[in-house]
């Protein structure tokens, strides 16, 4: 009995349950539907839930447990000879020696975990009828085990089927007894639905916990190599040199300050582009532009936010960086071809719609009464905007600004492609710098060492990043909330 | 606009006692396709309080907003007809709308102080129009305006606190002070008390009575008792028409039109 | 799982990918799944264990390190076959518009190291222009785009150029081992050497726009862009298939793939795949990998490798 | 209120004065300046967009055509089907390339010798045999016949033909020799070489050979990935939004959820990659490179965006509708299901589409879970290895062959087309269901 | 809830003519910390129209919403005291709130038809409560309800058009029809005419008068004339207290409390 079929039958039973519950409700109402507590459909749903849900949960649970149990049974049931035959064909001589010594007594236990894995792959392939993929030398030896495997799978399938059916029918009978005109079917069904909603909203929390835990776990290991203070306050970042045996512990190799300053620098450049462009665009769109212009320009600007960051990366490195460099050289400035400026400018362009859309919203949220008040006193539009609307919308704009910054700080692909890896401690936008995200991507996708501080440092950086955005967000949220209270 | 001046004078001739401050002739207003006012003719005399009453949606606010061209800010709104201020067409390109609004101030239904300090609320207008330049001049303006609005004693110690922190009635008086700080000639008030409690309302009503000495005031109200208390003349609007206008006493005791009658006796609205 | 899984070096990636594609096209086995993880990342996945969840082959642009070998052993990956597939030259190239240039390793070290020897003293690198390094070189600013430390190409560059280049200076030679290593291997960070990311093609495209800039990348990229770029002559030898294969060109390194013996016979097609990889049709001098820019091994070396593959001789623990 | 006696400028005197007029002119100048700033800002943003799009277009259009060479191939039955079973499964697939090469040699009978022949082979794609094989597979009756076939030229020839490699360069510095150029010119003259529309780009998956590479696998991978994302993120996101907006009591727990969601919306995408690596691959042991895993990571990533958009849409449904339904005796859940949710749906969908459009372009977290696999076939299911469009772009950008430069831009164009389509759909939805209450 | 029943009966004893439909005893309502109602005691008789009047913010709406527990939907709102419907405590867990609301219907200030067809608007309630199952039964309900609401003739040809497309007055009558379609026993109306024009208002007032035959109606209004026109009894609220309740005639002509007097004569509000 395959799981799919079981699930299908369960769903069918559930549907039948719905129908049964419904007609039962109609029956007990004696034709006066209004005398029922709930509409008949709810009695149906109630029955359907009890018929289907527990059994489906069981199936889910079963799916997780079934494979390990069956594998254990199959391996333990194998005869020593067949294990030995397999080992002779598949294992290296050194391993074989060890195995054959033990095999007489406890066949499968003699195998190490990895060898079991291999043996199981073969058995599974055979059980699935794909003998062609198995070494012909062991096919015969494994045949009984494969048969056993298939048999167990069959038994498991049938037993889960039987248990499910019992649960489902039990649910049906139980709920049938419960159905009475006074029975609050709707409330019961709604309770289940609302619990489902709660479970969904907990996923957000689980995600956060997952992120924090997976970052924390590795970070703690990292801090066993490198002290926290050194990581947070060190002025020198060069993770690569530190892996060489003779340089481990050379002070400052994991000082993340240059990364922080680099991130700050690039974000600052980005904001210097995005803030004026975004804010002014928002003001123009919200206060000046005719409706038609607004409804075309706004989506066009939003395209900027939708363009994949890889594309921006190309744009930065192949189009903007050379322009910046040529301009700089013409002005007699020494511009690195990986300048923070180029990456920042492009990132700024990407962020424009975040600022413009959010600001547009907050500007629109400024109550019309304030505009009226200002116009009524004889102010021009720009005076009203600058002196009344912007101050009133300021908290909201600050909120937008903070969200945009956290976006800039977290942006990866643009900087990976355009900003480079040089961890320079500088605030010169014409120089090359690197950012936290670049380092994470580089450390994890590049040449990794086992268990090295170098690889683990990526997680520590991720943790820092997480907390920085957390703080920015909490601040932004506070600011926006304060703003909200004022006008609601 | 000779024609306009002529007309206005002609209309004024019937009540020769007072000079005409503003006048409307055949004012029609459209919101998109929909006509909200069907041709309003009315004269407003200097230093009087004119009350506009009428059931909800009859166009009182619309008319009021025509008088300082606040309707310009509504995209779909179109105004036809002639409105004059001191005999000059307010739609005349010579007369700037910003200037017009400085001369014809406005107070709204819901108090709408700017989210700034009380002081800044008051000096906002004067600073815009360059009524003063020095700090002490501004201080002077703030004090005078708040005194005239009867708010000085209540707020003089907290001029730098936000205006939004005041109570509703105080906020409304702040808005009035803000409006008179730019020395307007006419003040328009659109249901200035409807968001206020009885005590604050009484305060404002007293204030209106005093402001009448210096300004021409047009007030929209849905409260007939209020209209009776504060105004010298009353205009009754109904479904976009001005049904009648006259001395307040007369309108309330002896209306000529039966719709006015019906409204005043509470048959509808 | 029925497909072969391959991870590893980005340098080896295009070659493996070509074999994968051919293998998928010409045999009835399903096409292997290939992922570029970098040499180290590949080793990490490869050595994580035996079984369906772990890759069968990893590519490497350097030999496996002892620490990696130990990790493999620890996780039960006891038998691993080391298979060399060819050589990769590292080009030092620049725009065609630039002047011809002829460099020695010592000059490269002088131009790119963080600290260099000037008049017998070890000082922070003062050279801003090539002509500062050697008056015979062009009077142009030093600007070199190179791979980041996470790449195998960088490792090879440091080992083959920097480490040997510095040896020519007596003051360096006389340093204590640790200090010497640091002086020899540390690349300068003042902007003259730019870590330009893992993407070699981007370096190539950027060289086009800046005729003073030089790039360090795999030879195959140079070979593919000969209309725009030219390779600098190192120690009098210009990079080409011939000079690299013969070992004349001094900056070249062997490329490897590592095979998990335990999976042979379990994962279908594994042995056939490796056999194809080192077969004449692929890795031979005229093979399709050569078309892709791989510098083929000399015939007798190739024959030896083919032998190893046939017998699946496990490798011994590397020295370092 | 005796303050009325206070001196004050005579009403009206000031506002019509000369000084006021002058001041007014200055104020209007400032007004015009301010408005101009706004226009400039928008112009800057739009210009950047245009430049960006132009660069891509300029680099990418070339990829849609390809040079093909017409060869007369003899489909020798013995070579193709050495076992003689007539069953295509037994064909020697490697032999097709030899057939192509033989045809080429016959086209140029005067070329002989190992080196010149090698150069001649350089005209035609090294994987031309694959094309031939596919055509023959479609019509096995061709075996044994001699037919004309249009087969792709090699990448270098293709680049020369498109002018991307300058043919006036000295021979040593271009990949195509003078000899090869002469052959090519001869073929062009005879009408045996021409540009054709590059259908392969849309029908094939990744390849090492630009003439054989296409986006199909990546597109299918992206579709699978988005499918997983939608299946997971939409219901969970909507359920969460509904719970928070309509049911949740205001307490610390819901505050926590709220802060969390807002925070997650701003967490760098790469951190989600780290999470996926640790949880889905490490803990749950799901396979690398699978659209399922990528979709799960992206779902987690776009969940907050969807929740926030959905909450905004739910908030926009006026309370009067809820009151009406509650007043009719509907339970809260019924109120939500019957009225609020259907009314909020367009808004929710708009938000979701925008979140998905962003998800579609995401690269960094997918690299962490191994979605940068080289797979030459579209994925057959949610668990089989696959690439996605943005990652395909990223991979092609690093490929050695010149042909990939334009393929990269072409793939970006396809990606952008998807994005603009999705954004367009969102705007359409927003427009269509825009409602004034 | 014997106690409740007792009390109610006791209160009813003073006006023995009519049976008590709903009763409130010591109803206090808090919004967070703020107390909006200070303990209201009132009986509402079957088939009467009770008008609640009073200045803005005095708690009329709050009290009305207590009667069908609409206040449950406001998180910070807490209700104390006893309210009974036919002698049964409406907070009794036995009585489901959904059922309560089916028995005590509500019409709101602003007409709020669902954005569905007129037909669907009407059948929503009956479908929800399982009042009918067959199409013809629903058709029947729709027709009866619309007829009773005086809307049938105006809309019978466009039952499938959206309810939001009707005029304000029609929408409000649709809402009333929707409310009576579930055959409630009591109908609560919170300023049902304040968003309407005079003609629509007159329509609704007539309707209320007719509905009184079958339902008990409680109506909040800020319009005293309206209260006088439609109600039999009137309760005057002031600052969260019910100052007095009695025959409408008496309240308007001879109020016992001076606050009532002040309000009715227009001294505040
Ligand atoms: N911005 C607008 N757009 C469209 N129609 C409008 C607008 N403002 C007002 N109207 C319409 O114009 C008519 C007159 O409205 P107005 O606000 O002047 O009435 P009012 O007498 O002030 O009513 P109230 O006492 O309710 O304030 C009404 O029918 C209203 O619906
Ligand atoms: N949701 C709420 N949250 C907090 N306070 C509220 C809420 N609703 C009403 N109040 C307060 O309770 C008091 C009574 O309000 P209610 O709405 O009952 O007055 P009302 O008599 O209906 O006034 P109106 O005539 O303006 O409708 C008021 O002070 C009001 O501010
Ligand atoms: Mg109005
Ligand atoms: Mg109310
Ligand atoms: O990917 P690498 O070959 O540079 O390690």
Q: What is the pLDDT of residues C194-217, one digit of tens each?
A: 877 767 787 888 888 788 889 998
Mode of pairing for the β-strands spanning B104-107 and B186-190? parallel
Q: How many helices (H) and strands (E) does chain C have?
A: 16, 13
pLDDT band at E178 (very low <50, low <70, confident <90, very high): very high
> Ligand 1, closest atom to CA B29?
12
Chain A residues lying within 8 Å of C8, measured CB to CB: none
- What's the confidence (pLDDT) of residue E164? 84
Of C13, C33, C202, the CB nearest to D289: C33
- What's the confidence (pLDDT) of residue A92? 59
CB-neighbour burial class of residue D109 (10 A; exposed 0-12, middle 13-18, buried 19+): exposed
Contact B268 E55 (CB under 8 A): no
For D382-433, the DSSP string reads: TTS----HHHHHHHHHT-SSTHHHHHHHHHHHHHHHHHHHHHHHHHHHHHHH
Q: Which residue of D has its CA nearest to C198?
A: D398
Phi and psi based region of residue C133 (left: phi greater than 0; alpha: psi -120 to 50; beta: remaining): alpha
**Rounded Cα–Cα distance for residues B66 and B83 (Å):** 8
Phi, psi angle pair for E268, to nearest 5°: -145, 170
Query: How far, in Å, from the CA of E256 to the mean position of ligand 4?
Result: 24
Look at residue C136 and tell me whether its pLDDT is greater than 70: yes
Residue D353: C-alpha distances to residues B135, B168, C198, D234, D366 (Å) = 55, 44, 33, 10, 20
The three-state DSSP-derived secondary structure of chain A is: CCHHHHHHHHHHHHHHHHHHHHHHHHHHCCCCHHHCCCCHHHHHHHHHHHHHHHHHHHHHHHHHHHHHHHHHHHHHHCCHHHHHHHHHHHCCHHHHHHHHHHHCCCCHHHCCHHHHHHHHHHHHHHHCCCHHHCCHHHHHHHHHHHHHHHHHHHHHHHHHHHHHHHHHHHHHHHHHHHCCCCCCHHHHHHHHHHHHHHHHHHHHHHHHHHHHHHHHHHHHHHHHHCCHHHHHHCCCECHHHHCCHHHCCCCCCECCHHHHHHHHHHHHHHHHHHHHHHHHHHHHHHHHCCHHHHHHHHHHHHHHHHCCHHHHHHHHHHHHHHHHHHHHHHCCCCCCCCEHHHHHHHHHHHHHHHHHHHHHHHHHHCCHHHHHHHHHCCCCHHHHHHHHHHHHHHHHHHHHHHHHHHHHHHCCHHHHHHCCCCCCCCCCCCCECCCHHHHHHHHHHCCCCCCCHHHHHHHHHHHHHHHHHHHHHHHHHHHHHHHHHHHC
Among A220-224, A240-244, B73-77, E94-98, the least confident range? A240-244
Return the partners of chain D (3 or more C-beta pairs < 8 Å). Answer: A, B, C, E
**Closest among E30, E32, E41, E42 to E79, alpha carbons compared:** E30
Look at residue A208 and tell me whether its pLDDT is greater than 50: yes
DSSP tag of D124: B
Query: How far, in Å, from the CA of A461 to the mean position of ligand 4?
Result: 56
Query: How far, in Å, from the CA of A448 to the mean position of ligand 5?
Result: 10
The sign one gets for the Cα dihedral D44, D46, D49, D55 is: negative
With H, G, I as helix, E, B as strand and everything else as coil, classify residue D44.
Answer: helix
Q: Which residue of D has its CA nearest to A211?
A: D275
Task: Determine the residue of E40, E52, E53, E58 to mutate for testing ligand 2's pocket, defined as the one with the most ligand atoms within 8 A of the Cβ atom.
Answer: E58
Location of structure tokens 């207590």: E66
Location of structure tokens 């005209």: D123
Question: Whole-number mean pLDDT of chain E?
Answer: 85
Q: Which of residues 138-177 of E touch D (CB under 8 A)?
A: 175
DSSP H helical ranges for D75-176: 77-80, 95-107, 114-121, 128-138, 155-161
Location of structure tokens 């109550």: A367
- What's the confidence (pLDDT) of residue D16? 76
Question: Whole-number mean pLDDT of chain C?
Answer: 86
**Rounded Cα–Cα distance for residues C234 and A479 (Å):** 61
pLDDT in tens, A225-284: 888 888 888 888 876 543 334 333 333 468 888 889 999 999 999 999 999 999 999 999
**Closest among D3, A389, E59, A367 to B173, alpha carbons compared:** D3
Q: Which residue of D has its CA nearest to E178?
A: D328
With H, G, I as helix, E, B as strand and everything else as coil, classify residue C2.
Answer: coil
Residue of higher predicted confidence among A436 and E6 = A436
pLDDT band at E24 (very low <50, low <70, confident <90, very high): very high
| D220, two tokens | 């299918």
pLDDT band at C242 (very low <50, low <70, confident <90, very high): confident
Residue-wise burial string across D162-192, b where 16 or more C-beta atoms lie within 10 A, e elsewhere: beebeeeeeeeebbbeeebeebbeebeeeeb
Task: Give the residue-averaged pLDDT of C168-178.
Answer: 83
- What's the confidence (pLDDT) of residue A41? 86
Chain D residues lying within 8 Å of E179, measured CB to CB: 327-328
| D392, two tokens | 């395909």
- What's the confidence (pLDDT) of residue C92? 93
With H, G, I as helix, E, B as strand and everything else as coil, classify residue B235.
Answer: strand
For chain C, how far is it from start to end, CA to CA, in angstroms? 34
Chain B residues lying within 8 Å of E252, measured CB to CB: none
- Whether residue C86 contacts residue C300, with contact meaning beta carbons closer than 8 Å, is answered with no
Task: Determine the residue of B29, B61, B268 to mutate for testing ligand 1's pocket, defined as the one with the most ligand atoms within 8 A of the Cβ atom.
Answer: B61
Global ipTM: 0.80
Chain D residues lying within 8 Å of A477, measured CB to CB: 259, 262
- Our answer on whether C and D touch (3+ beta-carbon pairs < 8 Å) is yes
- Whether residue B185 contacts residue B103, with contact meaning beta carbons closer than 8 Å, is answered with yes
Shortest distance, CA E212 to any CA of chain A (angstroms)? 24
> Ligand 5, closest atom to CA C60?
3
Mode of pairing for the β-strands spanning C33-35 and D373-374? antiparallel
Contact A441 D367 (CB under 8 A): yes
Give the number of other Cβ atoms within 10 Å of residue D248's Cβ.
Answer: 20
Tell whether ligand 1 has an atom less than 6 A from the beta carbon of residue B53.
Answer: no
Ordered mean pLDDT values, 10 residues apiece, chain B (269 residues): 42 59 93 89 93 85 91 87 91 86 89 89 91 90 90 89 84 90 91 74 86 91 83 91 91 87 67
- What's the confidence (pLDDT) of residue D253? 80
Mode of pairing for the β-strands spanning E186-190 and E216-220? parallel
Task: Determine the residue of B27, B29, B31 to mutate for testing ligand 1's pocket, defined as the one with the most ligand atoms within 8 A of the Cβ atom.
Answer: B31
**Rounded Cα–Cα distance for residues E243 and E245 (Å):** 7
Query: What pTM does this model have?
Result: 0.83
Give the number of other Cβ atoms within 10 Å of residue C284's Cβ.
Answer: 16
- What's the confidence (pLDDT) of residue C59? 92
Of C25, C26, C34, the CB nearest to D373: C34
Residue by residue, pLDDT tens for chain D (437 residues) are 334 334 444 444 677 788 888 888 899 999 999 999 999 999 999 999 999 999 889 888 888 998 999 999 988 888 888 888 878 878 888 788 888 988 999 988 888 888 888 888 889 988 888 889 888 888 888 888 888 999 999 888 888 888 888 888 888 778 888 888 999 999 999 888 888 898 889 998 888 888 889 999 999 999 999 999 999 999 999 999 999 988 888 788 887 888 788 888 777 888 888 888 888 887 787 888 889 999 999 999 999 889 988 988 898 888 888 889 998 888 889 999 999 998 888 888 888 888 888 888 888 888 888 888 888 888 888 888 888 999 898 888 888 888 888 899 999 999 989 888 888 888 888 777 766 54
Query: How far, in Å, from the CA of C149 to the mean position of ligand 5?
Result: 10
Query: How far, in Å, from the CA of B74 to the mean position of ligand 3?
Result: 15
DSSP tag of B117: B
Contact C33 D126 (CB under 8 A): no
Task: Give the residue-averaged pLDDT of C146-153.
Answer: 76
With H, G, I as helix, E, B as strand and everything else as coil, classify residue E105.
Answer: strand
Give the number of other Cβ atoms within 10 Å of residue D68's Cβ.
Answer: 24
Contact B112 A375 (CB under 8 A): no
Location of structure tokens 């835990």: A213
Q: Of all protein residues, whose CA lies closest to atom 7 belonging to ligand 2?
A: E31
| C315, two tokens | 């490798």
Give the number of other Cβ atoms within 10 Å of residue A482's Cβ.
Answer: 12
Residue-wise burial string across C206-241, b where 16 or more C-beta atoms lie within 10 A, e elsewhere: bbbbbebbbbbbbbbbbbbbbbbbbbbbbeebebbb
pLDDT in tens, A398-451: 888 887 888 888 888 888 877 777 777 888 888 878 888 888 877 776 555 556
| A374, two tokens | 């200002």
- Whether residue D343 contacts residue D349, with contact meaning beta carbons closer than 8 Å, is answered with no
Most confident of A251-265, A300-314, D33-47, E2-16: D33-47
Residue A404: C-alpha distances to residues A358, A393, E128 (Å) = 10, 16, 46
- What's the confidence (pLDDT) of residue E119? 94
């Amino acid at each position: 009995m395959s799981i799919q079929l079981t699930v299908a039958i369960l769903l069918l039973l559930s549907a039948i349950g719905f129908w049964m519950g419904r007609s039962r409700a109609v029956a007990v109402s004696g034709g006066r539907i209004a005398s029922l507590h709930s509409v008949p459909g709810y009695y149906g749903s109630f029955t359907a839930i009890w018929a289907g849900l527990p059994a489906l949960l069981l199936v889910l649970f079963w799916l997780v447990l079934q494979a390990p149990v069956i594998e254990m049974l199959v391996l333990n049931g194998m005869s020593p000879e067949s294990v030995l035959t397999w080992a002779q064909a598949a294992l290296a001589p050194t391993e074989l020696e060890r195995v054959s010594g033990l095999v007489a007594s406890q066949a499968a236990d003699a195998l190490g975990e990895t060898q079991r894995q291999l043996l199981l792959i073969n058995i599974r392939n055979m059980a699935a009828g794909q003998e062609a993929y198995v070494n012909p030398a062991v096919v015969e030896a494994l045949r009984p085990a494969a048969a056993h495997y298939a048999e167990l799978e069959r038994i498991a399938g049938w037993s889960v089927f039987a248990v499910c059916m019992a649960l489902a029918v039990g649910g049906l009978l139980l709920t049938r007894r419960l159905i009475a005109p006074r029975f609050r079917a709707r409330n019961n069904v709604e309770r289940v639905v609302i619990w489902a909603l709660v479970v969904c909203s907990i996923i957000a929390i689980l995600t956060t916990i997952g992120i924090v835990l997976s970052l924390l776990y590795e970070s703690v290991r990292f801090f066993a190599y490198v002290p926290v203070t050194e990581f947070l306050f060190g002025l020198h970042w060069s993770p690569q040199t530190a892996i060489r045996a003779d340089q481990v512990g050379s002070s400052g190799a994991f000082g993340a300050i240059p990364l922080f300053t680099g991130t700050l620098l690039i974000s600052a450049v980005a904001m210097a582009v995005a803030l004026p462009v975004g804010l002014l665009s928002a003001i123009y769109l919200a206060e000046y532009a005719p409706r038609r212009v607004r409804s075309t320009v706004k989506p066009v600007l939003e395209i900027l936010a939708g363009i994949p960051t890889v594309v921006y990366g190309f744009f930065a490195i192949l189009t903007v960086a050379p322009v910046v460099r040529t301009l700089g050289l013409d002005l007699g400035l020494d511009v690195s071809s990986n300048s923070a400026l180029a990456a920042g400018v492009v990132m700024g362009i990407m962020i424009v719609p975040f600022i413009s859309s959010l600001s547009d919203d907050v500007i629109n949220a400024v109550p019309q009464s304030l505009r009226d008040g200002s116009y009524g006193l004889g102010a021009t539009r720009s005076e009203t905007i600058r002196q009344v609307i912007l101050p009133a919308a300021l908290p909201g704009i600050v909120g937008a600004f903070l969200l945009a910054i956290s976006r800039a700080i977290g942006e990866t692909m643009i900087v990976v492609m355009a900003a480079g890896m040089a961890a320079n401690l500088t605030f010169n936008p014409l120089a090359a710098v690197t950012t936290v995200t670049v380092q994470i991507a580089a450390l994890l996708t590049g040449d990794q060492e086992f268990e090295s501080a170098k690889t683990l440092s990526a997680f520590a950086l991720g943790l820092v990043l997480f907390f920085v955005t957390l703080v920015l967000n909490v601040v932004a949220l506070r600011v926006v909330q304060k703003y909200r209270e004022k006008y609601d | 606009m000779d024609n306009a001046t002529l007309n206005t004078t002609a209309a004024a001739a019937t009540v020769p006692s007072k000079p005409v401050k503003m006048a409307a002739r055949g004012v029609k207003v459209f919101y998109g396709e929909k006509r909200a006012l069907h041709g309003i003719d009315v004269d407003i005399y200097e230093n009087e309080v004119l009350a506009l009453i009428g059931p909800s949606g009859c166009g009182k606010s619309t008319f009021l907003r025509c008088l300082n061209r606040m309707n310009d800010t509504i995209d779909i709104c179109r105004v036809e007809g002639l409105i004059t201020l001191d005999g000059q067409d307010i739609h005349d390109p010579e007369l700037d709308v910003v200037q017009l609004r400085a001369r014809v101030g406005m107070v709204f239904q819901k108090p709408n102080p700017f989210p700034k300090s009380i002081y800044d609320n008051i000096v906002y207008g004067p600073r815009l129009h360059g009524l003063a330049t020095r700090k002490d001049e501004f201080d002077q303006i703030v004090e005078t305006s708040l005194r005239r609005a009867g708010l000085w004693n209540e707020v003089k110690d907290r001029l730098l606190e936000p205006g939004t922190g005041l109570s509703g009635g105080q906020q409304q008086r702040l808005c009035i002070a803000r409006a008179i700080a730019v020395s307007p000639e006419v003040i328009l008030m659109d249901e200035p008390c409807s968001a206020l409690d009885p005590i604050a309302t009484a305060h404002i009503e007293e204030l209106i009575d005093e402001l009448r000495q210096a300004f021409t005031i047009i007030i929209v109200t849905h409260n007939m008792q209020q209209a009776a208390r504060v105004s010298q003349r009353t205009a009754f609007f109904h479904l976009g028409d001005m049904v009648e206008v006259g001395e307040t006493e007369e309108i309330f005791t002896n209306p000529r039109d039966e719709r006015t009658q019906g409204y005043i006796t509470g048959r509808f609205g | 799982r029925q497909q072969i899984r391959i991870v590893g070096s980005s340098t080896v990636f295009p070659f493996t990918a070509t074999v994968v594609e051919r293998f998928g096209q010409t045999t009835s086995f399903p096409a292997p799944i290939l992922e570029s993880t970098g040499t180290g990342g590949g080793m990490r996945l490869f050595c994580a264990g035996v079984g369906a969840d772990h890759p069968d082959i990893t590519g490497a642009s350097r030999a496996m390190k002892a620490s990696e070998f130990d990790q493999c052993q620890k996780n039960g990956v006891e038998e691993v076959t080391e298979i060399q597939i060819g050589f990769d030259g590292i080009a030092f190239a620049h725009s065609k518009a630039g002047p011809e240039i002829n460099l020695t390793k010592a000059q490269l070290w002088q131009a790119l190291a963080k600290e260099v020897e000037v008049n017998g003293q070890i000082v922070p690198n003062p050279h801003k222009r090539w002509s500062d390094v050697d008056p015979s070189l062009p009077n142009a600013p030093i600007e070199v785009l190179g791979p980041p430390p996470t790449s195998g190409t960088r490792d090879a560059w440091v080992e083959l150029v920097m480490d040997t280049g510095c040896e020519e200076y007596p003051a360096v030679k006389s340093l204590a081992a640790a200090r010497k290593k640091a002086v020899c291997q540390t690349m300068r960070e003042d902007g003259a050497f730019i870590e330009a990311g893992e993407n070699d093609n981007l370096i190539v495209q950027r060289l086009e726009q800046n005729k003073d800039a030089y790039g360090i990348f795999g030879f195959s990229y140079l070979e593919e862009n000969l209309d725009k770029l030219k390779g600098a002559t190192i120690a009098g030898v210009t990079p080409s298939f011939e000079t690299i294969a013969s070992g004349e060109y001094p900056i070249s390194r062997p490329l490897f793939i590592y095979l998990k013996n335990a999976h042979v016979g379990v994962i279908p097609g594994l042995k056939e795949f490796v056999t194809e990889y080192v077969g004449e049709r692929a890795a031979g001098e005229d093979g399709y990998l050569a078309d892709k820019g791989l510098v083929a091994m000399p015939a007798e070396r190739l024959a030896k490798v083919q032998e190893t593959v046939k017998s699946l001789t496990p490798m011994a623990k590397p020295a370092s | 209120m005796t303050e009325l006696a206070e001196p004050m400028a005579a009403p009206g005197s000031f506002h019509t004065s000369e000084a006021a007029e002058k001041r007014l002119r200055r104020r209007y100048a400032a007004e015009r300046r301010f408005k101009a700033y706004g226009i400039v800002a928008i112009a800057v943003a739009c210009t950047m967009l245009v430049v960006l799009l132009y660069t891509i277009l300029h680099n990418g259009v070339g990829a849609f055509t390809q040079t093909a060479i017409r060869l007369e191939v003899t489909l020798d039955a013995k070579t193709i089907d050495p076992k003689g079973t007539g069953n295509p499964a037994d064909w020697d697939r490697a032999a097709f390339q030899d057939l192509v090469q033989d045809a080429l040699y016959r086209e140029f009978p005067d070329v002989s010798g190992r080196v010149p022949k090698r150069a001649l082979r350089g005209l035609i794609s090294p994987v031309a045999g694959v094309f031939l094989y596919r055509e023959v597979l479609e019509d096995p009756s061709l075996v044994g016949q001699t037919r004309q076939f249009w087969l792709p030229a090699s990448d270098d020839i293709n680049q020369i033909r498109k002018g991307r490699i300058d043919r006036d360069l000295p021979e040593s510095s271009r990949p195509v020799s003078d000899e090869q150029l002469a052959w090519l010119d001869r073929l062009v003259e005879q009408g045996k070489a021409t540009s054709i529309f590059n259908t392969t780009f849309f029908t094939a998956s990744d390849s090492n050979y630009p003439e054989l590479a296409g986006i199909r696998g990546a597109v299918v991978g992206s579709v699978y990935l988005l499918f997983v994302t939608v299946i997971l993120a939409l219901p969970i996101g909507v359920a969460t939004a509904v719970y928070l907006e309509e049911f949740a009591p205001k307490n610390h727990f819901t505050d926590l959820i709220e802060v969390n969601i807002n925070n997650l919306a701003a967490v760098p995408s790469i951190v989600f990659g780290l999470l996926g690596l640790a949880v889905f691959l490490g803990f749950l042991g799901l396979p690398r490179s699978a659209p399922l895993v990528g979709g799960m990571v992206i779902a987690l990533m776009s969940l907050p965006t969807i929740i926030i958009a959905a909450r905004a849409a739910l908030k926009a449904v006026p309370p009067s509708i809820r009151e009406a339904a509650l007043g009719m005796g509907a339970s809260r859940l019924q109120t939500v299901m019957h009225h609020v949710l259907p009314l909020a749906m367009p808004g929710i969908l708009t938000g979701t589409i925008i979140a998905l459009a962003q998800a579609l372009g995401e690269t960094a977290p997918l690299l962490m879970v191994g979605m940068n696999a080289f797979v030459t076939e579209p994925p057959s299911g949610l668990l089989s290895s696959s690439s996605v469009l943005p990652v395909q772009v990223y991979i092609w950008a690093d490929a050695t062959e010149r042909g990939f430069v334009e393929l990269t831009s072409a793939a970006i164009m396809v990606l952008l087309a998807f994005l603009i389509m999705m954004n367009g759909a969102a705007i359409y939805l927003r427009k269509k269901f825009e409602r004034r209450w």
